[in-house]
């Protein structure tokens, strides 16, 4: 496949981003609000506090692009680049390994629609896509690297570090495993020493930045593995048709094709990639669910492993067979693109309805909070609505408790006294259920374990917040607590005024 073919494939993969205004990623509204504030959006509740954080890709790039294209087009351009890199990067790796781009690169493109992307983990998705490109360059320059090459790699690794720490860690694992395999082939101690020194030197700037510049983490930011509970999540994270809709059948078909190819020798994994892929597989199996205060670490690597397996795989079939398989793969990709677009269009209409409603019915500078009607939502995913209220930060200069403002992970800070009424960690990053409002209003922490661990900042919420966004979709709605008074009813949500009670006079 020629370069224009991969470019066309990347253009098709990113198409859904340009067919909606608001992609249905749970974290997208919070990211958009962050970009808005960094770009100079006025707020009485938040401020920007720059720090040397290894999680700054969108925070740096989107506000700059916004000066040229506007905020939301700039955000879509950033997401477009992140997604396209997941198509182009594996293709470059295959070209570096084999000298050509073939069926493996097409199959690797399936993994661009992964759980991280559909959650809206944008900085990681962008940084990992860039890491693919850097790894391809490392392979392509093997045996002919000059000092200038090493300086370029050091700069690239430093940039990836500041884009997202975990992407650098994944890239470091791949490059270290690749180098270990190459070192085994060297007989001279001097050659081994020089190669090791060159490899270590390119990671030095990023390592020093981590040790000397990174702000300290919050207490309690340890590891939580939960390996048994997350095993199925890891499998489903590799490829998704839409949010929380894993493509298990597609993953199984890809696995059957690969195993059949290896068994009957019409496919082969490049020998140089066997150790990197083996170590990456172990990392997938034993990756924790929580690390350094962040959730979803276990979702990071399955798609990376899938993309790299097929990028490292050369299919040895007749031209007609290869063309037939490529055509079938592109047809399935087209189906996935259509399925994702249809899902996003539905939620895009919902988000547009919400933004229109708050523009008409919520005063400027209003503190508002999201509440889930769990019984009405039922078994449907509620995560796409967790951060919906953050659109009010952009559109109405509002305040919400769930905007990303953890000091050791984000550059947005909540101004006092509002910082006491906002989530302080990722563990506190979900909205309460409507059944919990009475206990929260009366500060009954002993009644519900979640109130102590997840919602301590919402105790006495009726004294702070003015509007509740109750998400119920189209299910039978729960009884509304007395402190909520109807303001406006939408098709899938309702806006309520939050009425302060007598306890608020004492605060």
What are the φ/ψ torsions at residue 497 (nearest 5 degrees)? -75, 140
Residue 287 and residue 396 in one domain: no
Greater model confidence, 503 or 177: 177
pLDDT-derived band at 506, boundaries 50, 70, 90:
low
The pLDDT assigned to 187 comes to 84
Q: Is the pLDDT assigned to residue 452 strictly greater than 80?
A: yes
Residue 372 and residue 323 in one domain: no
Kindly compute the dihedral angle of the four CA atoms of residues 73, 166, 453, 441, in this order, to the nearest 10 degrees.
-10
| Number of domains the chain is built from | 2
Q: Is the pLDDT assigned to residue 507 strictly greater than 80?
A: no
Residue 152 and residue 290 in one domain: yes
| Mean pLDDT in residue range 72-80 | 99
When mean pLDDT is compared across 216-230, 276-290, 323-337, the lowest value belongs to 216-230
| Pair 1, 102: CB distance under 8 Å | yes
Per-residue pLDDT tens for 291-312? 988 999 999 999 999 999 999 9
Per-residue pLDDT tens for 201-236? 999 999 999 999 999 887 667 799 999 999 999 999
Q: Is the pLDDT assigned to residue 494 strictly greater than 80?
A: yes
Residue 136 and residue 85 in one domain: yes
Residue 81 and residue 144 in one domain: yes
Q: Is the pLDDT assigned to residue 4 strictly greater than 90?
A: no
The pLDDT assigned to 272 comes to 97
Domain ranges, residue 382? 362-506
The pLDDT assigned to 448 comes to 80
The pLDDT assigned to 218 comes to 76
Please identify, among 282, 313, 342, the residue that sits at the C-terminal boundary of a domain: 342
pLDDT-derived band at 3, boundaries 50, 70, 90:
confident
Residue 128 and residue 168 in one domain: yes
When mean pLDDT is compared across 128-132, 150-154, 184-188, the lowest value belongs to 184-188
Per-residue pLDDT tens for 44-60? 999 999 999 999 999 99
| Pair 501, 468: CB distance under 8 Å | no
| Mean pLDDT in residue range 334-363 | 98
Residue 405 and residue 275 in one domain: no
What are the φ/ψ torsions at residue 102 (nearest 5 degrees)? -130, -150
Residue 59 and residue 199 in one domain: yes
pTM for the structure as a whole? 0.97
Residue 452 located in a structural domain: yes
The average confidence (pLDDT) of the chain is: 96
Residue 347 located in a structural domain: no
The pLDDT assigned to 217 comes to 81
When mean pLDDT is compared across 24-38, 128-142, 184-198, the lowest value belongs to 184-198
| Pair 421, 461: CB distance under 8 Å | yes
| Pair 443, 397: CB distance under 8 Å | no
The pLDDT assigned to 299 comes to 98
Produce one character per residue of 13-51: b if its CB has 16 or more CB atoms within 10 Å, e if not: bbbbbeebebbbbbbbbbbbbbbbbbbebebebbebeee
Residue 201 and residue 332 in one domain: yes
Residue 333 located in a structural domain: yes
Residue 317 and residue 411 in one domain: no
Beta bridge partners of 291: 294
Q: Is the pLDDT assigned to residue 62 strictly greater than 80?
A: yes
């Amino acid at each position: 496949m020629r370069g224009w073919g991969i470019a066309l494939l990347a253009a098709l993969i990113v198409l859904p981003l340009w067919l909606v205004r608001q992609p249905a990623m749970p974290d997208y509204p919070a990211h958009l609000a962050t970009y808005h504030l960094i770009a100079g959006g006025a707020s009485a509740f938040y401020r920007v506090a720059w720090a040397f954080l290894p999680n700054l890709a969108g925070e740096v790039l989107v506000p700059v692009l916004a000066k040229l294209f506007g905020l939301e087009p700039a955000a879509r351009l950033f997401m477009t680049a992140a997604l396209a890199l997941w198509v182009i990067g594996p293709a470059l790796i295959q070209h570096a390994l084999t000298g050509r781009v073939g069926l493996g690169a097409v199959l690797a493109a399936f993994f661009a629609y992964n759980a991280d992307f559909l959650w809206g983990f944008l900085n990681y998705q962008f940084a990992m896509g860039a890491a693919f490109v850097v790894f391809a360059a490392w392979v392509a320059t093997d045996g002919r690297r000059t000092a200038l090459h090493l300086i370029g790699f050091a700069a690239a690794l430093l940039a990836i570090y500041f884009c997202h720490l975990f992407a650098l860690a994944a890239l470091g694992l791949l490059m270290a495993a690749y180098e270990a395999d190459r070192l085994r082939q060297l007989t001279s101690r001097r050659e081994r020493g020089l190669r090791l020194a060159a490899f270590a030197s390119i990671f030095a700037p990023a390592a020093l930045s981590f040790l000397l510049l990174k702000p300290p983490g919050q207490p309690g930011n340890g590891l939580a593995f939960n390996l048994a509970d997350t095993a199925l999540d890891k499998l489903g994270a590799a490829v998704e048709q839409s949010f929380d809709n894993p493509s298990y059948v597609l993953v199984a078909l890809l696995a059957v094709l690969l195993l059949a190819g290896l068994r009957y020798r019409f496919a082969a994994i490049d020998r140089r990639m066997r150790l990197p892929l083996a170590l990456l597989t172990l990392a997938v199996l034993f990756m924790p669910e929580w690390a350094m205060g962040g959730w979803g670490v276990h979702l990071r690597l399955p798609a990376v492993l899938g993309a790299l397996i097929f990028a490292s795989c050369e299919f040895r079939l007749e031209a007609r067979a290869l063309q037939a398989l490529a055509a079938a793969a592109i047809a399935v990709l087209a189906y996935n693109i259509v399925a994702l677009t249809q899902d996003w269009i539905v939620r895009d209409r919902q988000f547009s309805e919400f933004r229109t409603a708050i523009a008409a019915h919520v005063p400027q500078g209003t503190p508002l909070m999201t509440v889930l009607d769990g019984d009405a939502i039922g078994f449907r995913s509620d995560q796409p609505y967790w951060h919906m209220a953050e659109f009010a930060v952009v559109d109405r200069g509002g305040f919400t408790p769930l905007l990303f403002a953890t000091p050791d992970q984000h550059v947005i800070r909540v101004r006092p006294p509002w910082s006491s009424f906002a989530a302080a960690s990722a563990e506190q990053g979900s909205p309460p259920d409507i059944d919990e409002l009475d206990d929260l209003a009366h500060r009954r922490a002993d009644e519900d374990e979640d109130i102590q661990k997840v919602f301590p900042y919402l105790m006495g919420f009726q004294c702070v917040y003015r509007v509740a966004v109750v998400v119920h979709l189209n299910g039978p709605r729960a009884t509304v607590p007395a402190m909520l008074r109807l303001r406006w009813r939408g098709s899938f949500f309702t806006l309520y005024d939050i009425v302060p009670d007598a306890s608020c006079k004492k605060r």
